[in-house]
Amino acid sequence: MINSIVGAVAALVVGGGIAGATVFGLVSSQTSAPADSPGNAEKPFIQYGDRD
């Protein structure tokens, strides 16, 4: 009886931790700043191709 209760509580804690980490990762990835800065509205730059 005690073992099943302890097992259920442990499963809830582990499952809750995994779910919390997943939600935290999803929210932080969706709300983080972009890697590249946005374009400049005053002086737009359009690159049509790479020519070195």
Predicted pLDDT of residue 48? 79
CA angle 6/17/32 to nearest 5° reads: 175
In one-letter notation, the amino acid at residue 48 is Y
Which helix H or strand E contains 7, and what residues bound it? helix 2-31
Cα atoms found within 13 Å of the Cα of residue 1, Cβ hemisphere only: 0
pLDDT in tens, the chain (52 residues): 899 999 999 999 999 999 999 999 999 888 877 666 666 677 777 777 777 6
